[in-house]
């Protein structure tokens, strides 16, 4: 039976999650140099075109179609066959199947957009599109099935992932790491200063991400009642705790930057994602605060100590934040919050942390190996990186024939 309240909330949530991808474009775009602003935004926005098509054609079917050995979904929903106005018998049984399908589409879109942040300012656009299609098909789709698909093997083992800590954030974060290893650092990194071209854009983008994340997490309740409200409050609390913590840590080191504060908010949102509907709302405070500290010092280690050019810190934000969030789900979850979840460590259930750890290792290792292999393949055939002069002149001009700001003199 279709419930109108649930349907209204899930459709609204789908729209909220959709807005996160342009939000991400602003968030990422503001942080790069002026000559790469449009290309960076395009890497996110192009996913709204590419991934949404692949999703309705076959992505949804292979993720959520009839299970085959826990590994992959079937072809039964190919081209949305059998996905209609009536609810699915398995997923979100109180809303039209189409609403559940489009909600899931938005997750696939932003996950692909997320990893692009690690390789901005040097990746060839055509190669990125081909890689993204391959990655969606061979990395996102199987992982989504394992964790969220009916019969998926990680789901059957009891790995909890409320809104995509593993499927979205660990997946994208670890893949970002592999891509940086393949592409290498930007020309001039780290000796040249790579000054963000427009921090206000970053702030606006972070605001849209925070806003959209209510759809991401509270929408993942798939109903519009108490569980959605609980996830909503947990989400906001974690974002607040992480933003505040990052501000303080940055202040201890020198000054409280807004770039750091909004980064903290995003990291807190990442960490609460797998936990949002399994933990009591106030668990958002330790989850968010610890996420900010881990991510901050992860960045210090990766970028400053190792000189690793994960340009927009995708691994430190989404990889580390996602891993912490997955483990924190195993620590703070209670059956009182969600009877479909589990009791975590704090509620006396030590096993859940181990299950979460298994999920982290499996998804992380799979994403890394597949991304490396697919990236290598694309590099050998198309070439992942632009030429030296294209990189120097900037990707806006060399890849897209546009520039962000016009003017009489420039």
The tokens describing 408, both together, are 């009489």
Burial class of residue 344, CB neighbours in 10 A (0-12, 13-18, 19+): buried
Closer CB to other proteins, residue 264 or residue 375? 264
Residue 34 touches other proteins, criterion: CB under 8 A? no
Closer CB to other proteins, residue 250 or residue 337? 250
Stretch of residues binding other proteins (CB under 8 A), selected from 43-51, 56-64, 78-86, 192-200: 192-200
The tokens describing 312, both together, are 């927009």
Q: What DSSP line would sit under 354-388, residue for residue?
A: HHHHHHHHHHHHHHHHHHHHHHHHHHHHT-SB--H
In the complex, minimum distance from the CB of residue 242 to other proteins, in angstroms, rounded to a whole number: 13
Q: 375, 182 in Cβ contact below 8 A?
A: yes
The residue within the footprint of other proteins, chosen from 85, 89, 255, 410 (CB under 8 A), is 255
Q: How many residues form the binding site for other proteins (CB under 8 A)?
A: 18
The residue within the footprint of other proteins, chosen from 75, 125, 257, 349 (CB under 8 A), is 257
In the complex, minimum distance from the CB of residue 189 to other proteins, in angstroms, rounded to a whole number: 11
Closer CB to other proteins, residue 28 or residue 148? 28
Instruction: Report which DSSP code applies to 216.
Output: H
CA–CA distance, 345 with 298 (Å, rounded to integer) = 25
Specify the length of the chain in residues.
410
Hey, which residues between 274 and 313 contact other proteins (CB under 8 A)? 296, 299-300, 303-304, 313
Q: 189, 127 in Cβ contact below 8 A?
A: no
Closer CB to other proteins, residue 196 or residue 286? 196
The tokens describing 64, both together, are 């959520």
Closer CB to other proteins, residue 293 or residue 382? 293
Residue 194 touches other proteins, criterion: CB under 8 A? yes
Helix axes 258-272, 320-332, angle to 10 degrees: 50
Interaction mask 80-109, other proteins, x per CB under 8 A? ------------------------------
In the complex, minimum distance from the CB of residue 371 to other proteins, in angstroms, rounded to a whole number: 24
Residue 68 touches other proteins, criterion: CB under 8 A? no
C-alpha dihedral sign at 71, 76, 80, 82? negative
In the complex, minimum distance from the CB of residue 263 to other proteins, in angstroms, rounded to a whole number: 5
Closer CB to other proteins, residue 305 or residue 376? 305
Q: Which residues are 72's β-sheet partners?
A: 68
Stretch of residues binding other proteins (CB under 8 A), selected from 82-90, 187-195, 234-242, 270-278: 187-195
The separation between the first and the last C-alpha atoms of the chain, rounded to the nearest angstrom, is: 60
The residue within the footprint of other proteins, chosen from 7, 250, 329, 356 (CB under 8 A), is 250
Q: 247, 260 in Cβ contact below 8 A?
A: yes
Instruction: Report which DSSP code applies to 316.
Output: I
Closer CB to other proteins, residue 250 or residue 329? 250
The residue within the footprint of other proteins, chosen from 254, 389, 406, 408 (CB under 8 A), is 254
In the complex, minimum distance from the CB of residue 408 to other proteins, in angstroms, rounded to a whole number: 14
């140099």: which residue's tokens? 33
CA–CA distance, 22 with 278 (Å, rounded to integer) = 28
* Contacts to other proteins by CB under 8 A: 193-196, 250, 253-255, 257, 259-260, 263, 296, 299-300, 303-304, 313
């Amino acid at each position: 039976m279709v419930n109108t309240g649930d349907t209204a909330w899930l459709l609204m949530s789908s729209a909220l999650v959709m807005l996160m991808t342009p939000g991400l474009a602003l968030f990422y775009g503001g942080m790069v140099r002026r000559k790469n602003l449009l290309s960076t935004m395009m890497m996110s926005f192009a996913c709204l075109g590419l991934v949404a098509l692949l999703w309705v054609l076959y992505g949804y079917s292979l993720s959520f179609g009839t299970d085959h050995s826990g590994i992959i979904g079937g072809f039964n929903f190919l081209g949305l066959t059998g996905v209609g106005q009536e609810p699915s018998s398995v997923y979100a049984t109180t809303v039209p199947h189409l609403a559940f399908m489009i909600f899931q589409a938005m997750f696939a879109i932003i996950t692909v957009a997320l990893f692009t942040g690690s390789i901005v300012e040097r990746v060839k656009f055509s190669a990125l599109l081909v890689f993204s299609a391959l990655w969606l098909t061979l990395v996102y789709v199987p992982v989504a099935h394992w964790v969220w698909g009916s019969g998926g093997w990680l789901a059957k083992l009891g790995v909890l992932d409320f809104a995509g800590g593993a499927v979205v954030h660990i997946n994208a974060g670890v893949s970002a790491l592999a891509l940086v290893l393949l592409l290498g650092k930007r020309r001039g990194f780290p000796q040249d200063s790579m000054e963000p071209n427009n921090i206000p854009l970053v702030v606006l983008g972070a605001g849209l991400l925070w806003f959209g994340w209510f759809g991401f997490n509270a929408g993942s309740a798939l109903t519009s009642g108490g569980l959605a409200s609980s996830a909503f409050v947990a989400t906001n609390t974690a974002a607040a705790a992480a933003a505040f913590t990052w501000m303080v840590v940055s202040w201890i080191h020198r000054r409280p930057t807004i770039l750091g504060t909004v980064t903290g908010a995003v990291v807190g949102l990442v960490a609460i994602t797998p936990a949002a509907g399994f933990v009591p709302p106030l668990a958002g405070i330790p989850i968010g605060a610890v996420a900010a500290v881990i991510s901050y010092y992860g960045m210090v280690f990766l970028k400053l100590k190792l000189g690793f050019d994960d340009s927009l810190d995708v691994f430190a934000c989404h990889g580390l934040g996602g891993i912490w969030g997955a483990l924190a789900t195993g620590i703070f979850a209670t059956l009182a919050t969600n009877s479909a979840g589990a009791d975590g460590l704090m509620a006396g259930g030590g096993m859940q942390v181990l299950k979460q750890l298994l999920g982290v290792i499996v998804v992380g290792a799979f994403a890394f190996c597949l991304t490396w292999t697919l990236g290598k393949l694309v590099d050998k055939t198309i070439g992942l990186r632009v030429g030296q002069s294209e990189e120097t002149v900037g990707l806006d001009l060399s890849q897209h024939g546009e520039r962000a700001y016009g003017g009489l003199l420039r």
